[in-house]
């Protein structure tokens, strides 16, 4: 009898062992990073040189700078752009309050600025050894330091079309803004919340069309503000685990408006809030609160959906990125009235953005340059328009996916150690499109990664709102370009830190145009600023497999011992 039982145990163990190693890894693995950083000197730690012997143009080794000088470009209203100044800035020369904002990888960051003039600049590098047809991902943390005024602190521009960020790629030897380049979408304050005066990671995927290609990281400001500046550090170029038979001419794609098939969280009934004598409604942050849970709680009193209440409450409180236990948030201002909600069926999430008409969205914005002259192109010539999006037919449009998670970053290094750092619960992760909320997921700390599926090709912003007293250790906001069939994963690190304040409104003591002071505090350094897929939460399946396999092998060994004794 004992032998039969033991044989059954061994047979079960063997069956489970085979099943474990044949367990499907899922689609997530296809979008994982399969290379190291392919850029040379990505953190600008490898020295610099003065390009063309210009003292005001310091460029990191391995890179080259491009700019417009003395010519206008589209959107400047005829005002001409001028050459910027660039500095490879040493961290010890920066104020203590600015170090966590601008230095993402090591002791140096690249600083570009120009006062009182439009500016259009690009940083480029040629990369060899690419695999034709392989998909690659460019990521760059960029702080857009465009300041309209220093009165009462640093003031961001009121115009949303002033600043922009864009990437482009072409065969090695291609000139900047030349015909034949493939362009990312144009990121501006129109489609990225907090575009000004925040460090946001911009990410774009493209397909290699040649073994050697040149990548341009473009930034600009159309109007002559007191300061138009940019900080960049820890940029990355990574090979993905996917290939494409036909290279796409754009990483962003355009399509009709719509919402993901996966709906966001539903409303939970809360007690009716009691206004103060002056009509104001104030919420005191409790343990476990997040912006999303607060929006759900007060949405009925505001006559809004939770998706509408979230940005409304943030705007009333000067758009804080983080909240702390005991902090008071304004839900409704004194003496204000809120329109009652319309008695209609709840609209699908995302419908408020553009309306799900099924019509193709406008093509991406084109930056035309009149008589542009760059340091690379020599004599003044007519620069070709940036390529527009190809026409997208309804039959050709497919959807993409963004998968998200948050983890408890105990050591604050921005990378998850799966052995000691678990997933984070009660964080709100919101997907924005065109500045409007598409949907939000509240993490439970167990079932992530959570995937927002059926996203139409477009530019999306992924932002985390941590639980009270938690601060992000990775970039809290990613601007990603979702291409047809693409799956992009973003994991946010958070860390318990009740000492942090919700928003640090720093007073500006120096109003010079090349020195910056943050209006919103961001926390720990993100290391190499590599896309979070590398070694991230998608690799947890492999760890589980190994653990289960070890248990089964141990079980099989016990069975063998029992057989011998029998």
pLDDT tens for 348-368 read 343 334 333 334 444 445 566
**Encoded tokens for 369:** 């340059």
pLDDT tens, position by position, 59-94: 999 999 999 999 999 999 999 999 999 999 999 999
Hey, CA dihedral for 253, 258, 263, 266, is it positive or negative? Answer: positive
CATH topology of domain 48-258+363-534: Jelly Rolls (2.60.120)
What is the spatial distance between Cα 90 and Cα 100, in angstroms, rounded to a whole number? 13
- Would the pLDDT of 485 be above 70? yes
Q: What share of the chain is helix, strand, coil (3-state, %, to 5)?
A: 15, 30, 55
Which range, of 259-268, 315-324, 406-415, averages the lowest pLDDT?
Answer: 259-268
Which range, of 330-334, 454-458, 551-555, averages the lowest pLDDT?
Answer: 551-555
Question: CA angle 138-140-144, nearest 5°?
Answer: 140
Instruction: Compute CA 128 distance to the chain's CA centroid, rounded to the nearest angstrom.
Output: 26
- Identify the three-state secondary structure at position 4: helix
Amino acid 286: pLDDT: 83
Report the share of the chain in percent with pLDDT over 70: 66
HSE of 150 in the Cβ direction (CA atoms, 13 Å)? 17
- Would the pLDDT of 490 be above 80? yes
Amino acid 31: pLDDT: 59
Identify the residue whose tokens are 């500046």. 229
pLDDT tens, position by position, 246-276: 544 433 333 333 323 333 333 334 566 778 8
What is the spatial distance between Cα 310 and Cα 308, in angstroms, rounded to a whole number? 6
CATH topology of domain 281-348: Membrane-bound Lytic Murein Transglycosylase D; Chain A (3.10.350)
- Confidence category of residue 310, pLDDT binned at 50, 70, 90: confident
Of 232, 27, 229, 28, nearest to 138 (Cα)?
Answer: 232
Q: What are the CA-CA distances from residue 437 to residues 131, 148, 222, 450 (Å)? A: 37, 27, 27, 17
Please tell me whether the peptide bond between 25 and the residue prior to it is cis, using omega within 30 degrees of 0: no
- Residues 531-551, mean pLDDT to the nearest whole number: 45
């Amino acid at each position: 009898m004992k032998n039969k039982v033991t044989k059954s145990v061994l047979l079960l163990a063997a069956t489970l062992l085979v099943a474990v190693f044949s367990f499907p890894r899922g689609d997530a693995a296809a979008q994982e990073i399969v290379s190291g950083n392919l850029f040379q000197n990505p953190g600008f730690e490898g020295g610099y040189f003065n390009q063309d012997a210009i003292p005001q143009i310091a460029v990191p080794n391995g890179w080259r700078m491009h700019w417009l000088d003395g010519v206008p470009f589209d959107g400047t209203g005829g005002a001409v752009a001028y050459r910027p100044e660039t500095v490879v800035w040493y961290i010890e020369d920066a104020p203590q309050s600015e170090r966590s904002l601008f230095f993402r990888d090591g002791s140096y960051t690249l600083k570009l600025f120009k006062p009182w003039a439009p500016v259009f600049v690009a940083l480029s590098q040629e990369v060899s050894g690419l695999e034709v047809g392989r998909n690659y991902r460019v990521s760059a943390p960029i702080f857009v330091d465009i300041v309209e005024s220093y009165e009462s602190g640093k003031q961001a521009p009121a115009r949303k079309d002033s600043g922009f960020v864009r990437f482009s790629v072409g065969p090695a030897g291609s000139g900047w803004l030349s015909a034949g380049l493939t362009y990312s979408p144009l990121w501006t304050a129109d489609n990225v919340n907090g575009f000004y005066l925040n460090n946001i990671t911009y990410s774009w995927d493209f397909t290699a069309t040649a073994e050697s290609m040149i990548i341009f990281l473009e930034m600009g400001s159309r109007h002559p503000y007191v300061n138009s500046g940019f900080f960049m550090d820890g940029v990355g170029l990574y090979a993905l685990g996917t290939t494409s038979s036909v290279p796409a001419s754009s990483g962003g794609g355009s399509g009709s408006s719509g919402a993901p098939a996966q709906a966001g969280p539903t409303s939970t009934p809360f007690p009716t809030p009691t206004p103060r004598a002056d009509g104001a409604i104030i919420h005191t942050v409790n343990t476990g609160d997040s912006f999303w849970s607060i929006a759900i709680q007060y949405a009925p009193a505001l006559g809004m959906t939770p998706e509408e209440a979230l940005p409304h409450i943030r705007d009333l409180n000067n758009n804080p990125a983080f909240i702390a236990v005991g902090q008071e948030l304004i839900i409704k201002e004194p003496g204000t009235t809120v329109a009652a909600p319309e008695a209609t069926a709840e609209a699908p999430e995302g419908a408020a953005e553009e309306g799900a008409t099924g019509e193709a969205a406008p093509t991406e914005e084109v930056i035309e340059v009149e008589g542009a002259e760059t340091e690379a192109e020599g004599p003044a010539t007519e620069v070709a328009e940036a390529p527009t999006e190809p026409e997208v037919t309804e039959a050709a449009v497919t959807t993409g996916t963004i998968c998200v998670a948050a983890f408890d970053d105990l050591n604050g290094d921005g990378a998850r150690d799966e052995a000691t750092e678990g997933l984070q619960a009660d964080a709100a992760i919101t997907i924005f499109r065109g500045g409007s909320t598409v949907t939000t997921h509240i993490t439970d700390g167990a079932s992530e990664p959570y995937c927002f599926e059926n996203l139409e090709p477009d530019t999306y912003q992924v932002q985390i709102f941590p639980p009270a007293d938690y601060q992000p250790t990775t970039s809290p906001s990613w601007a990603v370009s979702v291409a047809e069939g693409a799956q992009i994963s973003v994991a946010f690190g958070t860390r318990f830190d009740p000492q942090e304040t919700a928003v640090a409104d720093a007073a500006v003591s120096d109003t010079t145009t090349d020195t910056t002071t943050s209006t919103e505090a961001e926390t720990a350094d993100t290391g190499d600023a590599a896309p979070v897929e590398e070694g991230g939460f998608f690799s947890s399946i492999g760890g589980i497999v190994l653990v289960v396999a070890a248990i089964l092998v141990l079980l099989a060994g016990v069975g063998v011992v029992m057989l011998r004794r029998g």
